[in-house]
């Protein structure tokens, strides 16, 4: 399955919406929810970026939770 830019943006928005909803329903667990969703958020973010250099910069700034092999595999899914 390949991912287009618009689909990646939609995925990113949907993940943020789901996380926001779950956090509002269980405010006591918002920290653990964010931790649980962090890899998924990084994958969605990675799919929305324009270049590998930008991806490296963004992921290193946000505490990368993905291995370089995973980053390459995800990057290869882009159209």
Q: Is 31's pLDDT higher than 80?
A: no
pLDDT (mean) for 53-62: 81
Task: Give me the chain's average pLDDT, please.
Answer: 85
Is the pLDDT at 52 greater than 80? The verdict is no
Predicted local confidence at residue 78, as pLDDT? 82
Please report which confidence band the pLDDT of residue 30 belongs to, taking 50, 70 and 90 as the band edges. Answer: low
Other CB atoms within 10 Å distance of the CB of residue 49: 18
* Residue that wins the pLDDT comparison between 33 and 30: 33
Report the predicted TM-score, pTM, of the whole model to 2 decimal places. 0.80
């Amino acid at each position: 399955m390949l991912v287009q830019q618009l689909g990646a943006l939609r995925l990113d928005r949907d993940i943020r919406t789901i996380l926001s909803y779950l956090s509002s329903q269980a405010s006591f667990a918002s920290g653990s929810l964010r931790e649980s969703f962090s890899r998924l958020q990084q994958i969605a973010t990675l799919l929305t970026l324009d270049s590998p250099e930008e991806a490296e910069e963004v992921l290193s700034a946000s505490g990368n939770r993905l291995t370089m092999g995973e980053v390459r595999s995800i990057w290869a899914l882009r159209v």
